[in-house]
Homo-oligomer: A and B are copies of this chain.
Amino acid sequence: MNAGPVVAAVDWGTTRLRVWLLAGDGAALAERRGDDGLITARETGFAKVLDRHLGALGAPAGLPVIMCGMVGSRQGWVEAPYVDVPARIDAILEGALRIGEESRDIRIVPGLAQKLADAPDVMRGEETQLAGAGLAGKGRHLVCMPGTHSKWVSVEDGAVAGFGTWPTGELFSVLAGHSILRHSLGEPPASVAADDPFFRRWCEAALAEGGDVSARLFSIRAAGLLHGLKPEQAAACLSGLLIGGEIASATRRHHGTGQSVTLIASGALGVLYSAALGLAGLRIRPVDADKAVRAGLFAAARQNGMFAEGASA
């Protein structure tokens, strides 16, 4: 069997892009990462950026491309309309939007919209991770996808019942960079270890307070003035406070206390959230975020008939 790629998979976000060439069994044959997210691509041109990455990977001419993420937003290449929740996870992928390019079959997985009057929300990219995380079967799952804008998703019998967004990563960076806490944390703030006692103590305090974090933010500054809290300790406090607050708030809203949580994450952030979810007394089912998005994109390409089953280039 020829192990050549049958499809290229692209996770294209606001600031970053990742491209994989996938074999007929979904295995990644090659990978590239770039900083040419939406912000860059809007200037350079989406087609040109994509062609450059595919060329660098040696992708065959005409190889189909399946994409997800902010590339399908109003500010992206082409706007892929949202699918409304509740929505079956496998049905989301079927609605991939074809871009009117002549040279190859390029499609974008739609995002999800929750049009509730009192809890409107949207996601783009995370729906594809969900689809690749093995959640299509029976049962209830609470899913945590940490990041700049962390998503928590209630999955029931293979359908997204509802979701919410906690902008924890963004709060950390705007507070560290632009608030009075920048004097406490240092610039740039040190990276935080999951076993740091300050991370753990502030996470536990936040977990006990149902998501109320604003009362403790200034305490980080005051602890520097009164107790000599050091910059790397202050960064650990802020990280523990915000992550603990997110978990307390999200599990309360999604009735997740005492449950297990599917944690779709990678790298250092996955380690921090594992520790924090453990402090919250939650059992964790870990799923690698990179593998999940690849699996979801592959499933989307297959469901949309973008390559012949069993074939390879």
Interface residues of A (CB under 8 A from B): 74, 113-115, 117-122, 149, 164-168, 170-171, 174-175, 177-180, 205, 209-219, 221-223, 225-227, 242, 245-246, 248-250, 252-253
Residues on the B chain within 8 Å of A215, using CB? 164, 166, 211, 249-250, 253
A113-B226, A245-B214 known; A219-B177 Cβ under 8 A: no
Q: How far is the CB of A98 from chain B (nearest CB, A)?
A: 23
Residues on the B chain within 8 Å of A245, using CB? 212, 214
A119 and B226 CA atoms in complex are apart in Å by 11
**A121 contact from B165, B178, B219, B252, Cβ within 8 A:** B219
A122-B225, A219-B119, A219-B120 known; A214-B167 Cβ under 8 A: yes
**A213 contact from B117, B118, B214, B221, Cβ within 8 A:** B214
Q: Would you call the interface of chain A mostly helix, strand, loop, or mixed?
A: helix
Is the pair A168, B226 in contact by a Cβ cutoff of 8 Å? no
Is the pair A226, B115 in contact by a Cβ cutoff of 8 Å? yes
Q: How far is the CB of A59 from chain B (nearest CB, A)?
A: 33
Residues on the B chain within 8 Å of A119, using CB? 216, 219
Is the pair A178, B180 in contact by a Cβ cutoff of 8 Å? no
A253 and B245 CA atoms in complex are apart in Å by 16
Most chain B CB within a 10 A radius of its CB, from A222, A249, A252: A222
Is the pair B149, A167 in contact by a Cβ cutoff of 8 Å? no
A149 and B213 CA atoms in complex are apart in Å by 14
Is the pair A222, B122 in contact by a Cβ cutoff of 8 Å? yes
A218 and B170 CA atoms in complex are apart in Å by 11
In order of increasing CB-CB distance, the 9 nearest A-B pairs are A211-B212, A165-B218, A120-B222, A174-B178, A120-B223, A215-B249, A121-B222, A212-B249, A120-B226
A121-B218, A165-B222, A226-B113 known; A210-B213 Cβ under 8 A: no
**A210 contact from B120, B212, B218, Cβ within 8 A:** B212
Most chain B CB within a 10 A radius of its CB, from A115, A177, A179: A179
Is the pair A246, B214 in contact by a Cβ cutoff of 8 Å? yes
A168 and B217 CA atoms in complex are apart in Å by 10
Is the pair A249, B214 in contact by a Cβ cutoff of 8 Å? yes
Residues on the B chain within 8 Å of A167, using CB? 179-180, 214, 217-218
A4 and B232 CA atoms in complex are apart in Å by 54
Q: How far is the CB of A220 from chain B (nearest CB, A)?
A: 9
Closest B-chain residue to A117, C-beta based? Answer: B227
